[in-house]
Structure 1
């Protein structure tokens, strides 16, 4: 029984899905830490669901929610929080009076530019850990998996 339990734990902890999940979270936590160091200490990990799915020209809140795999209500709460903090503005969609368009404010754009710089730093850290060839192969493999499962 003990051997079966150990095998179950190993399978659970080392399956690709769980490793992807844990690696993604580690990446996000590292990025958030660096963002806080740059003065954006009021940004939370949950805010990344909105930031990552908001187009530069603005996006309907329902589209952002769909991209993030969240309910419209949950995304609305994130939007309200980020609007109160000054990172985004919500305006009525001129084409659909029931919908809102979310846009970055100047502060939001500054946070976005900091996030771009942070991505470069983290990729360099990955290259230092894994080697640049392995990181390139990882990126290629991940793109292939994404294309395979989303088409």
Structure 2
């Protein structure tokens, strides 16, 4: 019988990401069932003063075409709108609508809930250590 090895850390991080994302997405679905988990790429990478589509796609590590479809969805649902970029009137900025701001507040509330649950599970010192470790991984890779 072969010895079993613990899962690779990358697999564990991915699985943890999926589970935490599900908690946040569930809260979002309670706000509006039409919002899909894929839309989180837009909400997460938006810049509140507005952002161009190409920059939004770059931040999310997506193609502009794929990001454009998500932005189109959210614009149709009333969460985003495109406005002229004051720096270049030919270009468009993507900005939140009032409905988008409300959805963002729901998302932040869900994230706060996840962090509260993590603090209960790990203790504040454990959460602080996890935060520092993840920031180090992000900075060093």
Q: Which runs of 5+ in 1 are unaligned?
A: none
Instruction: Tell me what 2:23 maps to.
Output: 30
Q: Which residue of 1 aligns with 2:77?
A: 85
Does the 8 Å CA contact 1:61/1:99 hold for their aligned counterparts? no
Counterpart Cα distance in 1 of 2:123 and 2:86? 49
2:113 aligned residue (111, 121, 132):
121
Report how far residue 143 of structure 1 moved. Answer: 0.8
Q: Distance in 1 between matches of 2:83 and 2:50?
A: 10
What residue in structure 1 maps to residue 10 of structure 2?
A: 17
- TM-score under structure 2 length normalisation: 0.91
Q: Offset at 1:95? A: 3.8
Q: Which has the higher contact order (CA 8 A, sep 6+)?
A: 2
Alignment partners' CA distance in 1, 2:121 and 2:113: 12
Deviations 1:42-97 (A, max 9, x none): 21100011111110000001000000000000000000000000000023434446
Partners of 1:92 and 1:100 within 8 A in 2: yes
RMSD: 1.8
